Chains A and B, each alone.
Chain A
Amino acid sequence: MSAVREDFEAFVAARYAALLRTAYLLTGDHHDAEDLLQQTLVKAVGAWRRIEGDPEPYVRKILVRQNVSRWRARRWRELPTDAPPETAVADEASDDRVALHRALGVLAPRQRAVIVLRYYEDLTEVQTAEALGITVGTVKSQTRDALRRLRDALPELADVLVSP
């Protein structure tokens, strides 16, 4: 087995679960999250020699961009509905978790990605912009809009969901 492949498989073993959690926040669905992550990692193989050493920013970049692409591709195949689908959450007892899941579901994929990267992955605005391939100004405006929509959906968090 080549060293490059070993490095790749070591990365997958170490970071698969964490990346799957990010993918879940981006998609809102366990199966979609797994599909998205596997597509992302398969895609990263082609560039592994180049990104070897610090692959995570590149993998994250593929992850969020691939999610937007998947959403765009699906948009033309799926019938739009007014409300996000009812999705079972692992811990059904958690009302907060359900509420946040629904609130994230009303966000556009790029807004959702901005929220996930900024508040879950703790990326800076510059890093978020780079990951999404957009400008810092767009990150700011997308964050502002996303937080406004989350405030509307989660009034109990209105005090903390303020624009930076």
Chain B
Amino acid sequence: MSSDLRDRLEDLAASTSAAGPPPTDLWDRGVRRRRVERAASGLLVLAVVLLLGLGGWGIHLSRDVQPADRHGTPHLPDRFFYDVSAWTHPFDGPPGPLVTVFPHERKALLHTTSGIVGVTASTGTYGFLELPDDAVSSDVTSNLLALSPDGRHLAFWVSGTPSGSPNTTMIQGETVTGVAVYDAVDGRVRESRPATVHGLEPRALLWADDSTLLFSYGQIQGRDGTQRASSSSFGASAVWTTTSPRPQILPENNFSTSLDNLTTRATEGEVVTRRTSPWLVADASDPTQVRSFRTDRAPDLLVLSPDHHRAVGVLTHNSNDGPLVLTRVPRGDDTTATLRRLTLGDHWTRPLAWLDNHRVAVFRQVLVRDPVNGPHVGGRLESVDLTTGGVRRLVANVGSHGTNDSDPWIATGLLGSPSVHAEPPPAPPDLRAWTIGLGVAAALTLFFGLLVLRGTRVRRA
């Protein structure tokens, strides 16, 4: 085609200045360039890995559990899952009424604490409750927590600094100095901190009704290491309604000094308790008017019916369970009531609450033979119809948290809610394992990067 163009191009190309010999360091420069490129690639990979890790971490942190519909219809899950992940997300805001709560190990990247898991009544969602840092959750006793019957309020003890030398031996390393109430609907926390020199010993924490908290505490006598460190004297009992700014201290009498979580139960404002005998009954709103009665036999505790005319108990006879017994509650003072053994073949551990005037929710402690975690104490919640004797399972597995005297922390007012099949909560990834994995990946990337560079140097040599 254009031989003239070709000739002219050759002529032009030939006109270029006569170059000297080619540089002798081209190979060395090429090797250096390749080494820099590989190092840059390694750093790029490392940066990508770190960015992915940070992104994953960010996603993990940002994935708080969304608050449930606070006005949704409450449901009763047919089972609870206590082996939730320690990385379970916290609720992002007030979760709404809770059907149950339980203490559980809570892990963060740098520390492990004890937290409180809540299960929402409307959706059955599991999440850690964002309680104050000073909430006491490490001492698993029956009076550690108290969930109101409607599931809206959670009472718990708080730690702090007493006016004198703190006592940390009574409550597993913490000094209890007050009581707090968390509102699961608006997220507010109210605290009451009575004066104390060495700390408080929790004795009772229970709800008389949806809005009335009863609590009782002792004053620890000595500081750590002293002879009196493990003893306490009666401090006070108090009633605190959710509308009152401060608790009302009860006058010291046989009722107020008898309050504890082993023998005290309340139904819609009416409280029944005893220290030894007789049974003491009082209205939580006016606990100065105390009635008493005796029973011909002695169940561990009695649970009053909603109309307050009857009470159920379990005659355990020093064993873990026994038959359900029913009695009419005398209106007069200091009379003796007869316990009627219900003609039921089953045995239970404790009555929990009345579902209505004919049905009672009872707790049956069982030994769970778990092939993974080994045998442990668990329980079932059942409904007993006092008229027909029919038994219906409410919740297949209920934790008793390893103590014989601890009721499950359940919103008893929600036990009559429609039952729903519960699915295990999701298990978020272990952030520490992720971090370690990312660290190993980064180290391996660096290691292989250095290996490549070293290999290049060796080949060059």
Interface residues of A (CB under 8 A from B): 2, 5, 8-9, 12-13, 16-17, 20-22, 24-25, 30, 33-34, 38, 41-46, 48, 89-91, 94, 96-97, 100-101, 104, 115-116, 119-120, 122, 150, 157, 160-162, 164
Contacts and interface: CB of A to CB of B under 8 A. Distances in A.
Nearest to A17: B19
A97 B22 CA distance: 26
A43 B30 contact: yes
| Interchain residue pairs A-B with the least CB separation, the first 8 | A45-B30, A21-B13, A46-B34, A16-B22, A90-B15, A24-B16, A120-B9, A160-B2
Interface in B1-16: 1-6, 8-16
Contacts of B22: 12-13, 16, 41
A8 B5 contact: no
Contact of A101 (B4, B10, B12, B33): B12
A157 B4 contact: yes
Chain A interface mostly: helix
A12 B1 CA distance: 32
Given A41-B26, A45-B31, A119-B6, A30 B16 contact: yes
Interface in B38-62: none
B17 interface: yes
Counting chain A CB atoms within 10 Å of each CB, the highest count among B3, B27, B37 belongs to B27
B38 to A, nearest CB: 9
A122 B2 CA distance: 12
B371 interface: no
Contacts of B23: 38
A41 B9 CA distance: 23
B2 A45 contact: no
- Number of chain B interface residues as a range: 20 to 34
Contacts of A41: 22, 26, 30
B5 A97 contact: no
B421 interface: no
Contact of B5 (A42, A44, A101, A160): A160
Nearest to A37: B22
Contacts of B4: 157, 160
28 contacts: A8-B26, A8-B27, A9-B27, A13-B22, A20-B19, A21-B13, A25-B12, A30-B16, A38-B26, A38-B29, A45-B26, A45-B27, A45-B33, A89-B12, A90-B16, A91-B15, A96-B8, A97-B8, A97-B15, A100-B8, A100-B9, A115-B5, A116-B9, A122-B6, A150-B5, A160-B4, A161-B2, A162-B1
B71 interface: no
Given A43-B30, A119-B5, 16 more contacts: A2-B460, A16-B19, A16-B22, A21-B13, A38-B23, A44-B30, A45-B29, A45-B31, A46-B30, A46-B34, A115-B9, A119-B2, A119-B6, A157-B8, A160-B1, A161-B2
A48 to B, nearest CB: 8
Nearest to B37: A46
A151 to B, nearest CB: 11
A126 B27 CA distance: 31
A94 B16 contact: no
B459 interface: yes
A46 B14 CA distance: 30
Contacts of B10: 120
Contact of A89 (B9, B15, B31, B37): B15
